[in-house]
Structure 1
Amino acid sequence: MAAQRGERGNGPENESGLTVALAFAANLGIAVAKIVAALITGSASMAAEAAHSVADTFNEVLLMAGLRRSVRPADRRHPLGYGKERYIWTLLVAVAIFGMGALFSFYQGIQTLAGHREDAEAGTIVGYAVLAVAFVLEAVSWQQAVRQVRAAARAADLPLRAYIRRTDEPTAVSVLLEDSAALIGLIIAFGGLGLHHLTGSAAWDAAGSLLIGVLLTAVALVLGRINLNLLIGTQADPRLVADVRARLGAAPGIDWVVDIVTVTFGTDRVLVCARLDFRDSLTAGEVEHACVRMAHDLREAHEEIDEVFLEPVPRDDPELRERVIARYGRTLRPKRPDSE
């Protein structure tokens, strides 16, 4: 489910870097071609797609910056590292998709409708050719993103849709959503350009531009929601939480798992905080050694666990009990029915 500790910052980041670099190269070439085609044809749909590709090219630069900056080691001012910085840059991608792509597409569509242009566009063949080449290049980039995301979903033992909702590595997902939107947008632009050419009505071209704007808005909202949740701080994978609870509950000297809090603070990086009721017969030294042992065991069992904080507490403390019930709606289970 996670990268090996020694590979963190190498394996998954290299794969994400390849995905982003391929997307950048494809989008840059496509953006230039679409701009030329939009100038020749005067198509609103083509102009919207050009803005889309310019936004995507800019977005890949943001994603590469996020990849590079998020793997910096922890320091005194940032003791948990810079992992969450990746989410900030990916959130900026969502803003750029809407600001640079969707809004421009809406503007082009409305302007075309307001202008009541009924003339067929010039250079339609050029537009078709650019759209066809763009589709091929986008498909290559999309294939790489799909391959990476599917591999990550298999490694996490999750369906693709569930992985996209739960992932703490949004870079490849961002490229996948961008490229998926690009392929759909190209089909819409082809339809708008073709219907305008066949009917002579600019309304079809305007409709294509508006649909592209709606498509980009939807992608921006999905990406924004994913990264907003990660920035706020999400619980680790429920399967990891359940295993941590079981391991702590089964550890020698533990009578009750009072509370567990897990937070994802970077790609494959999890913070675990647990409050435990130790057996009263244990000495202070035995409690200290037990904490060290359990923290070591949890990190060995789950490579994504970076930090473990264990706090000895009495399970019958009323204030603590209220806090746990307020968070989970119930208290956590004891280690075994016959534990006492």
Structure 2
Amino acid sequence: MRRRRASDRKTRVTVFVALAANILIAAAKAIGGLVAHSPALLSEAAHSVADSLNEIFLLAALHRSRRPADRDHPFGYGKERFFWSLLAAVGIFVMGGCFSFFQGFQALKSGEQESRSGYVAGFAVLGVALLMDGLSLLRALHQVHRQHGSAAEGLRDPALRTVVAEDSTAVLGVVLAIVGMALHMVTGDVVWEASASFAIGVLLVYVAYRLGREARGRLIGQAADPELSHRIRALLQAQPEIDSVEELLTMQLGLDSTLVAARVDLVPGLDSEEVEDVAVRIKRSVAHTVPQADQIFLDITDAPTRAEARRKGREDGPAATGEHGGA
């Protein structure tokens, strides 16, 4: 828990850095785009505005997902991260992608030409934006590798994953805008900048789709990673009192919270008190070995029935034993 709080603080700093950069960049791009009459630059301004609002969503996710469990939410609020990440994906799609397509169509319709000073202002703004977005991306990637050791593990955090995705697309979007403006300047044909706006729109729609699909899967009850499920199953099968693991179900409740429900058969010969003690010990063993499994439920299927049959057979004599022997 302490490690998770420290990780959340660092993620919060990363989101604040990205938010501050995007607010400044959005203002600069909007002013530069209006002065230069550049559709690509205005598309990038909308991109930065969408990113800024999304980072506010992510800050809300970091705050609300750490609330303790209560009567209305007995499994906690871990899925808040996935909900706000879904809203961020919608924001990228609507405010970034759709506006970029709109700017591309407007450019083709109006066919406006930029002045020489407009090109200079546009390139200057995009150069600064490229530098700031690049620094924000490096900060996010540094946190991924420093805190988690590998990108695959670090990007499990939807807030951090969203920041990395936003900053990566921001850098690529600026490059596309620079290329579009440069070709427009050389050829005098606005179709190049319009094409850059369309390309930025396609990029943002794709990123929104990927982030939204991931958040949706977690919200509707996605299972734990196959590796984690395999570890839990192997741990259960290694318990001497368990004869077989009939079924294992998992569901992610949050970033570091997993529900585990297992139906197991115990070895014969255990009475009711022993079954209860064994169940408690197995739960503690799983929770200690796999800290993410903080909600564990065991369904003991056959052992109690067998124990009851034996006791009833001893009480009622050979006839009763014969009656239950085939169960």
Q: TM-score of the superposition, structure 2-length normalised?
A: 0.89
Q: Which residue of 1 aligns with 2:206?
A: 218
Q: 2:189 matched to 1:201?
A: yes
CA distance in 2, matches of 1:236, 1:118: 54
CA distance in 2, matches of 1:135, 1:6: 36
Pairing of 1:114-133 with structure 2 (within 5 A): 114-118=109-113, 120=115, 122-133=117-128
Report which of the two structures shows the higher radius of gyration computed on alpha carbons. Answer: 2
**8 Å CA contact 2:222, 2:251 repeated in 1:** yes
Q: 2:160 matched to 1:172?
A: yes
CA distance in 1, matches of 2:54, 2:31: 21
2:290 pairs, out of 302, 315, 322, with 302
**8 Å CA contact 1:120, 1:196 repeated in 2:** no
**8 Å CA contact 1:69, 1:85 repeated in 2:** yes
Which of 100-109 and 221-230 deviates more? 221-230
Amino acid in structure 2 at the alignment position of 1:194: A
Give the C-alpha shift of residue 242 in structure 1: 1.5
Secondary structure of 1:123's counterpart equals: helix
1:27 pairs, out of 22, 25, 34, with 22
Secondary structure of 1:132's counterpart equals: helix
Q: 2:274 matched to 1:286?
A: yes
Q: 2:135 matched to 1:140?
A: yes
**8 Å CA contact 1:260, 1:273 repeated in 2:** yes
CA distance in 2, matches of 1:119, 1:170: 40
Cα distance, 1:119–1:82 mapped onto 2, change above 3 Å: closer
Q: 2:94 matched to 1:106?
A: no
CA distance in 1, matches of 2:80, 2:128: 35
Secondary structure of 2:149's counterpart equals: helix
**8 Å CA contact 1:249, 1:256 repeated in 2:** yes
The two structures, once aligned, show a CA RMSD in angstroms of: 1.8
Amino acid in structure 2 at the alignment position of 1:86: R
1:88 pairs, out of 83, 97, 113, with 83
Cα distance, 1:23–1:312 mapped onto 2, change above 3 Å: same
Give the C-alpha shift of residue 151 in structure 1: 4.0
Q: Which residue of 2 aligns with 1:51?
A: 46
Give the C-alpha shift of residue 236 in structure 1: 1.4
CA distance in 2, matches of 1:248, 1:308: 12
Give the C-alpha shift of residue 252 in structure 1: 2.5
**8 Å CA contact 2:36, 2:115 repeated in 1:** no
Deviations 1:200-251 (A, max 9, x none): 2111111111111011111111111111111122221222212211221121
Give the C-alpha shift of residue 196 in structure 1: 1.4
**8 Å CA contact 2:38, 2:114 repeated in 1:** no
CA distance in 2, matches of 1:219, 1:244: 33
CA distance in 2, matches of 1:288, 1:181: 54
Give the C-alpha shift of residue 123 in structure 1: 2.1
Specify which structure has the bigger relative contact order, considering alpha-carbon pairs within 8 angstroms and separated by 6 or more residues. Answer: 1
Give the C-alpha shift of residue 163 in structure 1: 4.5
Q: Which residue of 1 aligns with 2:260?
A: 272
Q: Which residue of 1 aligns with 2:234?
A: 246
Q: Which residue of 2 aligns with 1:322?
A: none
Report how many aligned residue pairs link the two structures.
304
Amino acid in structure 2 at the alignment position of 1:199: T
**8 Å CA contact 1:120, 1:201 repeated in 2:** no
Deviations 1:149-200 (A, max 9, x none): 3345536xxxx4x558xx5421111000100000000011111111212222
Secondary structure of 2:268's counterpart equals: coil
Cα distance, 1:121–1:101 mapped onto 2, change above 3 Å: farther
CA distance in 2, matches of 1:262, 1:26: 39
Secondary structure of 1:305's counterpart equals: coil
CA distance in 1, matches of 2:114, 2:175: 22
Cα distance, 1:300–1:32 mapped onto 2, change above 3 Å: same
CA distance in 1, matches of 2:143, 2:292: 19
Greater fraction helix: 2
Q: Which residue of 2 aligns with 1:78?
A: 73
Give the C-alpha shift of residue 118 in structure 1: 4.7
Deviations 1:247-305 (A, max 9, x none): 21121221111111111110111111111111231011111111110111111111111
Cα distance, 1:44–1:55 mapped onto 2, change above 3 Å: same
CA distance in 1, matches of 2:245, 2:172: 50
Secondary structure of 1:207's counterpart equals: helix
Percent identical residues: 42
CA distance in 1, matches of 2:7, 2:247: 32
Secondary structure of 1:264's counterpart equals: strand
Give the C-alpha shift of residue 55 in structure 1: 0.6
**8 Å CA contact 1:24, 1:57 repeated in 2:** yes
1:7 pairs, out of 3, 9, 21, with 3
CA distance in 2, matches of 1:62, 1:186: 23
Give the C-alpha shift of residue 312 in structure 1: 0.4
Query: Tell me, which stretches of 5 or more residues in structure 2 are unaligned?
Result: 306-327
